Each structure stands twice: as C-alpha cells, then as structure tokens.
C-alpha cells in the first residue's frame, strides 16, 4: 500500500502544481487592472512591470489585427492619403519640386497613386509596388518630386518582411530607376549623392523588415515549442493518471476478488453444513465475518489514499502492502473456504517489498481463480523457490477440472502480467500438460540488476 500511496500522493502534488501554474497564467491573461495581477489564492496584488503591460497590450492589438485586418489597413491607408493631399493642398510640395507649374490634376493623381496602393501592402506587397512604379516614373519625368514617393519605402518594408529576400534585388532596381531618370533629366545634384541617398533608404528599410521578420520567426518557433511542451506535459499527466487508475484498479481487483471468492466458498460450505453440523456452520459464519472485515479494512486503506489530505480531518495512513510473511494467513483463509493447499518453500532471501508484493498478489490471484473455476474436490500446491540476488520462482498448480481461467474480459491474468513485467520477469499460465489435469501458473523474477 505504501507504493500506491506514495505514487498517488506524487500524482496529487503534480496536479496541484499544474493547477497553480494554470491559475497564474489565467491571472496574467485576464489581469486585475492596469499594471496589476490578481492572485486568486492569496487575494494579494503584485505590481506588474510596465514592459509586461506593454507586451500584453501589444499582443491584444496584434490579435485583433489578425482577426480584422481590413479595418486597420483602411485606417493606415486613409492616414497616408490624407497626408499626401495635405502636402499638395498646403503647398509643401513646392519646397522639393523641380517643376512648380505642375497642374493640379496631376498633383492629385500622383498623390492618390502613391498612397492608395498601401491598402494592399500586406496582402500583395509586390503588386502594390508595381502599381506605384508608373506614378514614380511620371513623378521623376515631370520633375514634380512629391514627397509622397517616399511611401514606396513602406511597401519595401513589407516585401522584406513577407516575401523571399531575392525579391529585394528587382525592388531596388525598380526604386532607383526613377531617381536616375530625375537626376539625368533635371540635373540637380550629383549622381552619387542622389542614388546613394535613395539606396541607403532602401537598405535601411529592408534591414528593419528583415530584423522584424527574424524576430517573428524566432517568436513563432518559441511559441510552437511551448505549445508542444504543453501538449507533452498534458499527455504525460494523462498517462500518469491512467497508470495510477490501472494500479488502483489492480489492487482493488486483487483485494475484492480474492476475499469475495473466499466468502463465497465459506458461504457454500456453511449452507451445506447447516443442516447436519450446526457448529461448523457457525464457524463458517465467523470466518465470513473475519474475511469481510479484513477486506473492508484493506479497501478502506486503499481508498483513504485517494482522499485530499489537506481538506480531510484524518490524513491517510500509509499502511504497508502484504509481503511473503502474510502468505500463511492467505493460505489459511483459502483452506477455510474449502480448498486444500499444500505449500513448499525452498531457500531464504530478503526480497524487496515490491517483489514480495508481486509474488504475493500472483499467488493470491491464482488461488482465487482456483476457488472460482476449478470445481469440487480440487487441491492446490504452491512451490516457492528463492534464488540469489532477489531471484524467485513461484509455481501454483491445482487439480481442478475447469479448462479455462477467468473470462476474456477479466483483470486477473493481465494484472499478474503487468506486475511481473515491472521486474522483467516471466509469467506462464495455462492448463497442465496431459495426463495431468488442472491449471498451472508459473512466475519467475530474475536477479536484481545493480543500479
């Protein structure tokens, strides 16, 4: 019982730690207010660093933008369209133009041509830049030199952010061509100065886009890794819970199945002796009561392990599991139920508690199956041989007439095999070879492997 109790306690502590971590994550997601995080367990509020608050707000804005990209694009595009029109209508373009006599309709056309394609800067950045290119050539050829032409850099940023980097080669050539046309046609400034200035702007914007792209890729990798770790953690918790349920089910099967089989045998014998030997019937009833109380005591200890020790007024007692010293009591109970059992023990060895429990449960399950399936006038033999360094062999045979063990959906044989597999042992169960009749269970646990 100490093994099941210890493993169950570890599972409970792991579950509580996971709940505490989830409470912390929930508090960070919901927040208790600006700059604070609420603690649900302690009721305290701790100051939240400004950087975490900014990051949380940024994540919310980006999340909203991913769900509703069009409103954000319309706002950004509308802002730059307004700025371009203000530059034209306010006369700011006159400070940079080479041709102050540019007609108003051309100014408005160029302003709209430079700004409206920004609406597709994220979804189709290459197409947006190609749409701006004719206006950039007209702007350079006529000498208008609108400052709105710098909006090409916004599109270049998104090309560096979203498209393969080889696109930057033709993008650079496309952007520098109007600059070369303007310098050749209007002859103001040196070639190296005009081309170098524009090239520097393109390189800086491209580097910013590449940096942001690298950061996003790194963040996505970390988020994907965190998701996979969470999935792995949840799977491990589920596997641990499933294994714990299997262990508890195996213990309950061994306890309840064996004791109920003994009680059934005692009840049948008492019923038969009631009419002729009232004294033996009374002894059978006493044995039934003793066996029932023993089963209830063992079951209560097992169920107490599952209680929440922090809320329960009486913590569960970590009572030791049965060992080979309890084998005689087990055999006496089976004998009282009407099954003659002969026991032979060879050698002496101090086995670890886990190995002793495995041998005990296998013998218990074999005797239980004999009580349930072997029929009348059956006898059983137990041979227990101790080897060196923890090796042990147990053979349980009976002379019953039944040809099968438990039903196919039973837990007896699978439970015995699971226990045996924990120590790398072997378990054989099946009918005895002819001409002998009955059933044979053979368990072998090898020597302990040094750690």
Domains of the chain: 69-221 (no CATH), 323-451 (3.30.565.10)
CA distance 431 to 195: 95
Q: pLDDT at position 272, please?
A: 65
Return the structure tokens found at 437: 């009749």
Which of the two residues, 435 and 299, has the higher pLDDT score?
435
pLDDT in tens, 9-52: 444 444 444 444 444 444 444 444 434 444 444 444 455 678 88
Measuring CA to CA, which residue among 142, 158, 23 is closest to residue 93?
142
Distance of CA 245 to the CA centre of its chain: 18
Return the structure tokens found at 274: 């009631």
Full-model pTM = 0.50
The helix (run of H) or strand (run of E) holding residue 450 is: none
Question: Which residue in this structure is represented by tokens 């996505």?
Answer: 220
Local confidence band at 66 (pLDDT 50, 70, 90 cut-offs): confident
The long-range contacts involving 215-218, CB below 8 angstroms and separated by at least 24 positions, are none
Q: Are strands 380-386 and 392-398 parallel, antiparallel or unpaired?
A: antiparallel
Q: pLDDT at position 4, please?
A: 39
Share of the chain above pLDDT 70, in %: 73
Q: pLDDT at position 116, please?
A: 94
Which of the two residues, 69 and 243, has the higher pLDDT score?
69
pLDDT in tens, 77-95: 999 999 999 988 888 888 8
pLDDT in tens, 117-149: 999 999 999 999 999 999 999 998 998 889 899
pLDDT in tens, 382-400: 999 988 777 899 999 998 8
191: pLDDT strictly greater than 80: no
CA distance 112 to 119: 12
Q: pLDDT at position 303, please?
A: 65
Strand, helix or coil for residue 420: helix
Q: pLDDT at position 151, please?
A: 93
CA distance 121 to 276: 101
**Across all residues in the chain, what is the average pLDDT?**
78
Q: What is the dihedral of CA 253, 259, 265, 267, to 10 degrees?
A: -120
């Amino acid at each position: 019982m100490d093994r099941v109790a210890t493993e169950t306690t570890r599972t409970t502590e792991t579950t509580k730690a996971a709940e505490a971590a989830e409470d912390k994550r929930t508090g960070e997601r919901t927040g208790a207010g600006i700059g604070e995080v609420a603690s649900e367990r302690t009721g305290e509020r701790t100051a939240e660093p400004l950087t975490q608050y900014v990051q949380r707000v940024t994540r919310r804005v980006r999340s909203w933008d991913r769900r509703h990209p069009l409103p954000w694009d319309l706002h950004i595009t509308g802002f730059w369209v307004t700025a371009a029109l203000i530059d034209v209508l306010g006369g700011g373009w006159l400070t940079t133009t080479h041709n102050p006599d540019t007609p108003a309709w051309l100014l408005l056309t160029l302003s709209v041509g430079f700004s409206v394609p920004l609406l597709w800067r994220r979804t189709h950045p290459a197409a947006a830049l190609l749409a701006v290119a004719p206006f950039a050539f007209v702007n350079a050829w006529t000498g208008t030199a609108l400052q709105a032409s710098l909006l090409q850099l916004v599109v270049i940023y998104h090309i560096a952010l979203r498209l393969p980097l080889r696109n930057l080669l033709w993008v650079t050539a496309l952007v520098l061509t109007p600059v070369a046309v303007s310098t050749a046609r209007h002859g103001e400034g040196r070639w190296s100065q005009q081309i170098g200035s524009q090239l520097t702007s393109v390189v800086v914007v491209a580097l910013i886009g590449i940096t942001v792209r690298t950061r996003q890729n790194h963040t996505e990798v970390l988020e994907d890794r965190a998701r996979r770790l969470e999935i792995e953690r949840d799977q491990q918790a589920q596997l641990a819970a499933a294994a714990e349920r299997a262990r508890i089910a195996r213990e309950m099967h061994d306890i309840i199945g064996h004791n109920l089989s003994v009680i059934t045998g005692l009840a049948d014998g008492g019923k038969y002796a009631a009419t002729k030997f009232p004294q033996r019937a009374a002894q059978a009833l006493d044995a039934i009561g003793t066996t029932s109380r023993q089963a209830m005591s063992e079951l209560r200890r097992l169920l107490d392990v599952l209680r929440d020790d922090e809320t329960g007024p009486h913590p569960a007692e970590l009572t030791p599991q049965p060992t080979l010293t309890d084998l005689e009591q087990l055999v006496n109970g089976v004998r009282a139920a009407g099954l003659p059992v002969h026991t032979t023990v060879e050698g002496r060895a101090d086995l670890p508690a886990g190995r002793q429990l495995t041998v005990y449960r296998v013998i218990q399950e074999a005797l239980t199956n004999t009580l349930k399936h072997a029929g009348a006038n059956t006898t059983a033999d137990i041979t227990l041989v101790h080897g060196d360094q923890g090796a042990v062999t147990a053979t349980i045979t009976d002379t019953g007439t039944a040809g099968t063990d438990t039903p196919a959906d039973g837990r007896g044989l699978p439970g015995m095999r699971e226990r045996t597999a924990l120590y790398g042992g072997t378990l054989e169960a099946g009918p005895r070879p002819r001409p002998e009749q009955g059933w044979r269970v053979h368990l072998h646990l090898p020597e302990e492997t040094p750690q």
